[in-house]
Amino acid sequence: MKRIVSGIKPTGSLTLGNYLGAIKQFVKLQKERKNDEFFLFIADLHAITTRQVPHELRKRTLDVAAMYLACGLDKERTTLFIQSEIHEHAELGYILQSNVYMGELERMTQYKDKNDKNDTSITSSLFTYPALMAADILLYDADYVPVGDDQKQHLELTRDIAARFNNYYSNFFKVPEPLIPEVGARIMDLQNPDKKMSKSENNPKGYITLFDDEKTITKKIKSAKTDSLGVINYDPVNQKGLANLINIFASVTDLSINEIVNKYKNVGYKIFKEDLAKKLVDVLIPIQEKYHEIIKSNELHEILNKGREIANRYANLKMKKCKRKVGLGRK
């Protein structure tokens, strides 16, 4: 039996990038790996590394929980919980901060990009974020961590931190493996295909949220930036915008890039985009219907309570052992 662990920040509305890069993969893995355990959480402690409005954060935390289930995760086989309800995440995060170097944190692109732009709103928790993320994973002895491509670097650092700790204190943490999907790992902004699609992005035309209605989805795909070549061809260098749409198409339909290019090579962008919008609507509208059922029901709280209980048991035991290893406290 293997343990699979991953998290999502409740920052903005979940995007198509979060679905295709992460949640869709969780659902697929759960169907394929019948004997494995799934620990999935809502990373609200990570969310406050940037300013959040308290009542909106609380609402989004439940929204993400409901969306996990609406997208098809099996509630019986998922330990679904809220990160801040398990205080050991923060506790282990602090210990791991003492096992990671400033130079390593400075190299993390998520931090570096902001720093390079002379962003003066970088908090110290944004800087130490990767230590908390390592704690989220190492606390549960995760074997696998399914994430989108942007998290690869954080996963590598998690592995380095675990190995360093094991080396100094003797073997204690399992060194986890990232799982990055072949397609859909990096969905780009629809207006600026050089940037990843992000929920904290200012221009809503650049991203599709899991809450967008049919009209909005169609409009956003229609106005997605392409090029003036006018030929359906998969060329991520010269036709970046189109390549991104082809990737989305492939990820959403499970067709290969070649199959899509062959099917559409003799038609213009207009028909391709109309078909893509239809495929997205077919996938997203049923998810929204399920989300509305779940968010109204009391069951969501029951699931989160049960998740908290199971996660707490693991985290508590691991943390006790960890403190003993490090020499903290009396015994």
Q: Which residues are catalytic?
A: 114, 196, 199
> 203 or 262: whose CB is closer to ligand ATP?
203
In a 10 Å sphere around its CB, with 0-12 CB exposed, 13-18 middle and 19+ buried, how is residue 269 labelled? buried
d(CA 68, CA 79): 11
d(CA 41, CA 27): 14
6 binds ligand LTN (CB under 6 A): yes
By CB under 6 A, name the one of 5, 8, 65, 322 that touches ligand ATP.
8
SS3 of residue 225 by DSSP: coil
Binding partner of 17, given ligand ATP, ligand LTN, none, CB within 5-8 angstroms per partner class: ligand ATP
d(CA 137, CA 159): 10
9 binds ligand LTN (CB under 6 A): yes
One character per residue 164-203, x = contact with ligand ATP (rule: CB under 6 A): ---------------------xxx--------xxxxx---
Nearest-CB residue to ligand LTN? 7
Binding partner of 145, given ligand ATP, ligand LTN, none, CB within 5-8 angstroms per partner class: ligand LTN
Q: How many residues bind ligand ATP (CB under 6 A)?
A: 22
State the minimum distance, in angstroms, from the CB of residue 189 to ligand ATP. 8
7 binds ligand LTN (CB under 6 A): yes
247 binds ligand ATP (CB under 6 A): no
> 52 or 316: whose CB is closer to ligand ATP?
52
261 binds ligand LTN (CB under 6 A): no
Binding partner of 226, given ligand ATP, ligand LTN, none, CB within 5-8 angstroms per partner class: none
Evaluated on CA atoms 314, 12, 209, 302, the torsion sign reads positive
69 contacts: CB under 8 Å, gap ≥ 6: 75, 80, 290, 294, 300, 303
The amino acid sitting at 192 is: N
The amino acid sitting at 325 is: K
In a 10 Å sphere around its CB, with 0-12 CB exposed, 13-18 middle and 19+ buried, how is residue 70 labelled? buried
By CB under 6 A, name the one of 93, 148, 176, 241 that touches ligand ATP.
148
| Strand order from edge to edge, sheet including 3-8 | 78-82, 37-42, 3-8, 144-146, 177-179
- Strand pairing report for 144-146 and 177-179: parallel
Q: How many residues bind ligand LTN (CB under 6 A)?
A: 13
Which tokens in the block code for residue 158?
Answer: 């998690």
246 binds ligand ATP (CB under 6 A): no
State the minimum distance, in angstroms, from the CB of residue 201 to ligand LTN. 14
Tell which residue, 47, 49, 67, has the closest CA to residue 57. 47
Q: Which residues bind ligand LTN (CB under 6 A)?
A: 5-7, 9, 43, 46, 133, 136-137, 145, 147, 151, 154
Q: Which residues bind ligand ATP (CB under 6 A)?
A: 8-9, 11-12, 17-18, 20-22, 43, 147-148, 150-151, 185-187, 196-200
